[in-house]
């Protein structure tokens, strides 16, 4: 188990932020969990520590949103996510963390800028699209496997549909509940679920449910339009942070 105080000083707020994001609040900022904890330990170890915690969060979320999710979207994007996870496993020894940070950062920043510059906030809701859903589901599965950063590609596909906020969040919860369970065997194969990582996960585990509950309560207090404005702002902030970290890492 990790005993470094600096690690826990970063891990506690990171896990709470992840929980609130899972609960539907601070949407895009949940992606910052891995970068924050990576200031103390390697991103690969962070991914292994966070997976059991994310699964606990998923269990809370599945119960909270068990009657509020979009089945048709899930049937489209989940097969793509499984493909993305398999690609991540096959390329695990080649793809660097900085490459994934830059990829996800570009997607996030570009999508948020497009929303603001083109004033897509006033555009009509986009319909379900099987081709786009499969593509972004695959990207989400891949980036989720590598760095638990599947939220941004998921948002790229789902946000333009302008679903009711609870329906959107419920779909996200169900999607990542399945994705994270599918990641367990590959993570175990790669040695990321060893005793040291799992014992550290256990210490941080209580924060998962606390963050989720806080996120769910916060979501219920926010009206529809401010929710989406905040979601895109958080998406841009998260993408900018990842882009900065990825470029610095590449140049180091």
Task: Check residues 32 and 163 and name the one with the higher pLDDT.
Answer: 163
pLDDT (mean) for 33-53: 85
Report helix, strand and coil shares of the chain as percent, to nearest 5: 80, 0, 20
- Report which of residues 186 and 233 the model is more confident about: 186
Res. 169: pLDDT tops 60:
yes
The per-residue pLDDT for 159 is 86
Q: 175 pLDDT exceeds 90?
A: yes
C-beta separation of 206 from 67 below 8 A: no
- CB-facing half-sphere around the CA of 232: CA atoms within 13 A: 21
End-to-end Cα spacing for the chain:
29
Residue range 94-125, pLDDT digits in tens: 878 788 778 878 877 887 787 777 665 567 88
Report pLDDT for 119. Answer: 62
pTM metric for this prediction: 0.81
Q: For residue 139, give Cα distances in angstroms to 125, 151, 152, 173.
A: 22, 10, 9, 17
- What is the helix (H) or strand (E) element at residue 21, kind and residue range? helix 5-22
Give the DSSP H/E element, type plus range, for residue 130.
helix 130-147
Average of per-residue pLDDT across 77-83: 97
Q: Which two tokens stand for residue 119?
A: 């004033």
What does the pLDDT read at residue 43?
79
Give the H/E segment covering residue 68: none
* pLDDT tier, 73 (very low <50, low <70, confident <90, very high otherwise): very high
Among residues of the chain, what percentage have pLDDT more than 90? 37
CB 142 within 8 A of CB 87: yes
Q: 133-157: per-residue pLDDT in tens?
A: 999 999 999 989 987 878 878 988 9
Q: What's the rounded mean pLDDT across residues 192-208?
A: 93
Q: Is the pLDDT of residue 29 over 70?
A: no
| Mean pLDDT rounded to a whole number for the chain | 85
CA distance 113 to 252: 28
Q: Which residue has the tokens 């994001």?
A: 21
pLDDT, residue 12, reads: 92
pLDDT of residue 44: 80
For residues 195 and 100, the model is more confident at: 195
Instruction: Give dist(CA 143, CA 242) in Å, integer.
Output: 12
Q: How far apart are CA 184 and CA 201, in angstroms?
A: 14
pLDDT of 231 strictly over 80:
no
Q: How far is CA 120 from CA 36, 71, 127, 128, 225, in A?
A: 31, 25, 14, 17, 13
Nearest to residue 175, comparing CAs of 95, 84, 46? 84
């Amino acid at each position: 188990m990790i005993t470094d105080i600096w690690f826990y000083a970063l891990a506690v707020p990171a896990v709470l932020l992840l929980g609130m994001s899972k609960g539907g609040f601070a949407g895009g900022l949940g992606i910052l969990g891995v970068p924050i904890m990576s200031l103390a330990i390697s991103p690969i170890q962070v991914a292994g520590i966070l997976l059991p915690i994310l699964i606990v969060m998923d269990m809370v979320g599945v119960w909270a949103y068990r009657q509020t999710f979009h089945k048709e979207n899930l049937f489209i994007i989940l097969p793509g996510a499984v493909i993305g996870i398999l690609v991540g496993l096959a390329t695990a020894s080649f793809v660097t963390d900085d490459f994934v940070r830059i990829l996800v950062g570009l997607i996030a920043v570009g999508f948020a800028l497009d929303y603001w510059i083109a004033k897509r906030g006033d555009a009509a809701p986009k319909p379900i699209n099987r081709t786009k859903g499969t593509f972004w589901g695959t990207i989400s599965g891949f980036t989720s496997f590598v760095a638990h950063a599947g939220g941004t590609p998921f948002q790229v596909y789902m946000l333009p549909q302008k679903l009711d906020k609870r329906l959107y969040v419920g779909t996200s919860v169900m999607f990542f509940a399945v994705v994270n369970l599918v990641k367990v065997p590959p993570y175990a194969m790669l040695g990321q679920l060893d005793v040291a990582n799992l014992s550290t996960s256990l210490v941080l585990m209580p924060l998962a449910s606390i963050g989720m509950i806080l996120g769910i309560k916060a979501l219920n207090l926010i009206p529809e339009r401010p929710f989406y404005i905040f979601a895109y702002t958080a998406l841009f902030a998260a993408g900018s942070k990842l882009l900065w970290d990825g470029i610095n890492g590449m140049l180091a």
